[in-house]
Each structure stands twice: as structure tokens, then as C-alpha cells.
């Protein structure tokens, strides 16, 4: 299997890991602040 064929899968996995890491940094205070002052 060529690298070009598995590249989209690797990119999706990398994006998922980045999003998971950012999600781990959120706290309850972040959601409370969002509930008090929504921008939209």
C-alpha cells in the first residue's frame, strides 16, 4: 500500500488527536463562562 493511499487516514487520525488534546484542556469554568456570555 502506498503512502499516498493512507495519507487521508493519517491526517484524520492526527486531526482527531489534536482535537482531543485541546478538549482535555477545557475546564468547567470555560463552559460556565460560555453560558454566561454567549457570543452568538
Residue pLDDT tens, the chain, 40 long = 798 999 999 999 999 999 999 999 999 999 999 999 988 6
Place of cell 493512507: 6
pTM recorded for the entire structure: 0.65
Please give the span between the terminal C-alpha atoms of the chain, in angstroms, as a whole number: 46
CA distance 37 to 14: 32
CA distance 17 to 19: 5
Domains in the chain: boundaries:
3-36
Amino acid at each position: 500500500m502506498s503512502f499516498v493511499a493512507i495519507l487521508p487516514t493519517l491526517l484524520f487520525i492526527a486531526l482527531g488527536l489534536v482535537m482531543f488534546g485541546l478538549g482535555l484542556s477545557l475546564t468547567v469554568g470555560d463552559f460556565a463562562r460560555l453560558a454566561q456570555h454567549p457570543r452568538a
